[in-house]
Amino acid sequence: MSTVHRVVVHPSRYTQGASPFEVSTSDAPLKDLNADSRHVLIVGGGVSGLLVAWMLLDKGIRVTILAKEWARTWDFSEPRITSQIAGALWEMPPGGCGLTEIETPGAGWATVEHYREWAMQSYNFYMKYAEVSNEHEKGGSSLGLSVAKLHQFFYDDAITSCSKKSPRHEHYNKYAAVKTRIGGVEVYPDKEAIAQRFDKSIINLSSGGNHFQSGYTHTAPIINTDKALAYLMALVQRKGATLETREVKDLRETGQRLLTDYKADAIVNATGLGARELVNDEDVYPVRGAVRRVENTRHSKFRHLNDAYLVPAQIGPDGLPSKTVFIVPRNDDILYVGSIIQPHNENMNLTPESPEVQQMWDRAGDFMPSLNHAGFVNHFPFAQGLRPFTKKNVKVRADEDCGFPLVHNYGHGGSGWTIGVGTAQCAVHIVETLLDDKDKTGLLQVVGMQTDWSDIKKEKFSNAIKGTLGANEKSELLDKIQASGVPESCKDRLKNVVNSWSAELIKASAKIGNQTLTDVDDRLIDDKTNLLEVVTQSDWNDEEKDKFRNAINGTLGETEKAELLDRVRASSLQIPDTYRDRLTNVVRLWSAELMKASAKATNDAIYPIEDNVYKARL
């Protein structure tokens, strides 16, 4: 009963600094939460958000998930979130729902190699999970994971290497990745080999009006998304996560407020298609898909299937991916039959009678004639959803513009379940990197070592580095505000600013004040100016005044920067030269810029820009 099942999550080659870590299926997080635990806000309750939550919790990090909608655990009459609609078959990227799934967006973004790395992390996770979770699975409460044979068929030779210019190259590359990274692949190099392996009464080897020319079989995880999402939601709650139904608007604008309101340290954006509005990301677009849900019991005329069958997308004459057959048995005696690939179409108005759905069904029936005897699941026979694609591929990266810790994990397209464990691991790595900001710590150490600086001076530098004020100084400043001649209506705002201090906050606050002001004149307040005024009017000595001004500005004057730079250079701190260079850069950039620099450095490590890409750009 009390067995703790643990599954190791290995770092990928793109997160080399990270050490492997474990997640557990027990109720208690592997590392206890306490008053000092960091707190991460996750926006989005699909697979991308929930997996990040699970991993953070088992690392002893507090989690609150905000989502507009959650998976339906019993009322199936309402629309379901994308993660629930998915057939949730694991596939080596690029997935079968489109050869164009992975774009070549250029420097600094996820490449097909990142996808494959994330997919393999997920694959290894699922396989290990399948081993340790059996008793949970029998109890009906688990990921709803099954491990099946996946047979794939091609109208061309996908098995033999060919010119990089050939469209076949994509299929070959994928096969090569499967063969080298997954053991036990069965290969059918030609028509005859396929005919020998597959019973013609099950598979129509010339469906689609063409003979299949090659194929292969490997083991693949399949997730029952209804079970998995219900399970993940319950699991993260038992581990201490708070789930709150809430729509978040414009994260870049409101993020800092959210961090203050929830007393949180970082935000993860896992909103799928929602990112379009939320981070105003024009790159995000929907690809409509649909599946029919077929009874896969042993009672009907239809022969029960244990294996999954796939005819991956081909590029049609119109340049769009087309003609897929997707037949996937879940562990609940329901067979998923799909699929449709309709980029830039977000109308959820398909029905089983829609021409494209009928074509999809006919295609599957052509491929597997026994499907024509199958019955549909009567309470939920048909599902449609919008895959969250982006023009620059899945975004698992630190936001480089906003100046507070915001980590994106969205745009998983047709492979959220395939790569989800890997992308979550990467997102968690980024969150941790931003939270233990090594640059900040390094600078603070340098300041701490200055024996010839007065305490007040050290404090000044430390506060500027942290972009914050200590508790004593906050209360001191609050008193000054109270005693000042600032109008009463402004005092409250100023006090809020002081209470939730940070350079970025002031910027955000100034900006919000500005916007509100265009509508409401009497709220035209520049918090920063007012605070500086309060300090100027105070009875503090010049050195003290400077300290507060610097903290308010979130910056140091040029002379002070130069002074600190000298100290960094002369520092006896045991730091490598590369790190010293970083610190020097940080001092030059400073403050909110510090977080941006840190975000950029983190992204650059994960998405290295290759020499040839640089050259191509020049």
Ligand X SMILES: *[C@@H]1O[C@H](CO)[C@@H](O)[C@H](O)[C@H]1NC(C)=O
Ligand Y SMILES: Cc1cc2nc3c(=O)[nH]c(=O)nc-3n(C[C@H](O)[C@H](O)[C@H](O)COP(=O)(O)OP(=O)(O)OC[C@H]3O[C@@H](n4cnc5c(N)ncnc54)[C@H](O)[C@@H]3O)c2cc1C
Omega into 339 within 30° of 0, i.e. cis? yes
Q: Nearer Cβ to ligand Y, position 377 or 510?
A: 377
Q: Cis before residue 94, ω within 30 degrees of 0?
A: yes
The one of ligand Y, ligand X, none whose footprint includes residue 204, by CB under 5 to 8 A per kind, is: ligand X
| Closest to 406 measured CA to CA, from 253, 233, 585, 513 | 253
Q: What is the dihedral of CA 505, 402, 82, 24, to 10 degrees?
A: -80
The interface with ligand Y within residues 261-290 (CB under 6 A) comprises 270-274, 278, 289-290
Site for ligand Y contains 248 (CB under 6 A) = yes
Among ligand Y, ligand X, none, partner that 93 touches (CB below 5 to 8 angstroms by kind): none
Binding mask 523-562 for ligand X (x = CB under 6 A): -----x--------------------xx--x-x-x-----
Binding ligand Y (rule: CB under 6 A), the pick from 29, 46, 221, 405 is 46
If one asks whether residue 312 binds ligand Y (CB under 6 A), the answer comes out as no
- Tell which positions 381-400 bind ligand X, by CB under 6 A: 399
Task: Confirm if 544 and 476 have CB atoms less than 8 A apart.
Answer: no
Q: Which of 312, 365, 414, 422 binds ligand Y (CB under 6 A)?
A: 414
Among ligand X, ligand Y, none, what does residue 37 contact (CB within 5–8 Å per kind)? none
587 binds, among ligand X, ligand Y, none (CB under 5 to 8 A by kind): none
Q: Which does 554 bind (CB under 5 to 8 A by kind): ligand X, ligand Y, none?
A: none
324 is a site residue for ligand Y (CB under 6 A): no
Closest CA to 55 of 434, 429, 410, 602: 429
Given the structure tokens 């048909």, which residue do they identify?
A: 382
Q: Applying CB under 6 A, does 47 fall inside the site for ligand Y?
A: yes
**Residue 359 binds ligand X, judged by CB under 6 A:** no
Q: Which two tokens stand for residue 607?
A: 């998405």
Distance CA(292)–CA(308), nearest Å, equals 15
Our finding on whether 390 is near ligand Y (CB under 6 A) is no
Which phi and psi (to 5°) does residue 310 adopt? Answer: -145, 130
Task: Give the nearer residue to ligand Y in terms of CB position, either 247 or 401.
Answer: 247
The tokens for 568 are 């960094």
- Structure tokens of 36? 């000092």
Place of tokens 């002001």: 517
Per rule CB under 6 A, count of chain residues that contact ligand Y: 43
86 binds ligand Y (CB under 6 A): yes
Beta carbons of 566 and 581 less than 8 angstroms apart = no
Residue 204 in contact with ligand X, rule: CB under 6 A: yes
- The answer to whether residue 126 forms part of the interface with ligand Y (CB under 6 A) is no
- Which residue lies nearer to ligand Y by CB, 51 or 469? 51
Tell me the angle at which helices 558-570 and 455-466 cross, rounded to the nearest 10 degrees. Answer: 100
Select the residue interacting with ligand X from 281, 400, 504, 527 (CB under 6 A): 281
Whole-number Å distance between alpha carbons of 295 and 379: 11
Nearer Cβ to ligand Y (408/466): 408
Strand partners, 406: 267
Residue type, 11: P
* Chain position whose Cβ is nearest to ligand X: 275
Closest CA to 395 of 264, 256, 593, 251: 251
CB of 291 to ligand Y, least distance (A): 5
Q: Does 219 bind ligand X (CB under 6 A)?
A: no
By CB under 6 A, name the one of 10, 72, 128, 252 that touches ligand X: 252
Q: Which of residues 499-518 bind ligand X (CB under 6 A)?
A: 510-511, 514
DSSP 25-44: SSSS-SS---TT--EEEEE-
Q: 89: which DSSP letter?
A: B
User: Which of these segments, 57-65, 173-181, 269-277, 412-420, binds ligand X (CB under 6 A)?
Assistant: 269-277
Asked if residue 229 binds ligand Y (CB under 6 A), the reply is no
Q: How far is the CB of 373 from ligand X (least distance, A)?
A: 12
371 binds ligand Y (CB under 6 A): no
385 binds ligand Y (CB under 6 A): yes
18, interface contact from ligand X, ligand Y, none, CB < 5-8 Å by kind = none
Strand order in the sheet with 39-43: 242-245, 62-67, 39-43, 266-269, 406-410, 395-398
* Per CB under 6 A, 69 contacts ligand Y: yes
> Angle at CA 218, nearest 5°, toward 47 and 161?
110
Chain Cα centroid distance, residue 370? 39
Q: Binding residue for ligand Y (CB under 6 A) from 29, 45, 98, 554?
A: 45
Minimum CB–partner distance for residue 61 and ligand Y (Å): 19
Question: Which of residues 11, 29, 87, 93 is near ligand Y by CB under 6 A?
Answer: 87
DSSP of 294-330, one letter per residue? EE--SSSSSPP--SEEEE--EE-TTSSEE--EEEEE-
Which amino acid appears at position 203 of this protein?
I
Considering the complex, state which of residue 454 and residue 514 has its C-beta at the smaller distance from ligand X: 514
Q: Could you tell me if 127 and 145 are in contact, meaning their C-beta atoms sit under 8 angstroms apart?
A: no
**What's the CA gap between 612 and 618, in Å, rounded?**
10
Q: What is the largest CA-CA distance in the chain?
A: 93
Rounded Cα gap, residues 121 and 577, in angstroms: 34
Q: Which listed range, 78-86, 343-351, 540-548, 601-609, lies at the site for ligand Y (CB under 6 A)? A: 78-86
Helices (H) and strands (E) in the chain, counts: 22, 19
Provide the minimum distance between the beta carbon of 320 and ligand X in the complex, in angstroms, as a whole number. 20
Q: What is the DSSP letter of 209?
A: G
Q: Which of residues 363-382 bind ligand X (CB under 6 A)?
A: 366, 369
276 binds ligand X (CB under 6 A): yes
327 is a site residue for ligand X (CB under 6 A): no
39-47, 200-208, 301-309, 398-406 -> range binding ligand Y (CB under 6 A):
39-47
The residue ranges that bind ligand Y (CB under 6 A) are 43-49, 66-69, 81-83, 85-89, 247-248, 270-274, 278, 289-291, 338-339, 385, 387-388, 410, 412-418
Residues at the interface with ligand X (CB under 6 A): 204, 206-209, 251-252, 269, 271-272, 274-276, 278-281, 284, 366, 369, 399, 408, 410, 510-511, 514, 528, 549-550, 553, 555, 557
